Amino acid sequence: MLKFIETDLPGVVLIEPQVHSDERGFFLETYHAEKYHEGGIRERFVQDNHSRSSHGTLRGLHAQAPVAQGKLLRVIEGEVFDVAVDVRVGSPAFGKHVSVVLSAENFRQIYVPPGMLHGFVVTSEVAQVEYKCSDLYRHEQEFSVRWNDPEFAIPWPIADPVLSDKDRNAPLLRDVRDKLLPYEPEAR
């Protein structure tokens, strides 16, 4: 049975798909617009992305504004510690985060709504992540916040991650407040 599990952050949903397994392997629906809409994920996805990263690689924390992206993520190889941070101005959960383990073995997905920061660190030897975006990537609108910003106190499972220059030199949240979007609650 397909399950949509609300998290402590408004709009962030953990999805547990129904997996059909037998001696041949497995089958699952990774996305079904009507079912996901009924589960509260009403985005129209327009871009799919795929990344492969080695152990200890941390990608994030990223967002895009003013044209924000909602993201629906899943891992098809390996395991990641995935994090969403609510930085929507006026949100009752502003500055709070939620983390989940996504893996090829647990088949879980996470939906991160527009306006939130998102990132993950690879906890397996390698990981491949596929994700859908609700709007197109716009390089000039992307911004990052430092992965270990003390304002969030995220308990990352890797103390010394492998970072891109962009992520290593990302500012703190207090330095990008002018890029943050307002919280717009939706009926779920």
Nearest to 179 by CA among 148, 120, 138, 134: 138
Distance separating alpha carbons of residues 28 and 131, to the nearest angstrom: 16
Q: Are 124 and 134 in contact (CB under 8 A)?
A: no
User: What per-residue string of b and e applies to 132-151 under the rule 16 or more CB within 10 Å gives b?
Assistant: bbbbeeeeebebbbbbebee
Annotated active-site residue in 36, 97, 111, 131 = 131
Annotated active-site residue in 36, 62, 111, 118 = 62
DSSP string spanning 7-65?
Answer: -SSTT-EEEE---EEETTEEE--S--HHHHHHTT------EEEEEEEETTBEEEEEEE-
- Is 131 assigned a catalytic role? yes
Looking at the annotation, which residues are catalytic? Answer: 62, 131
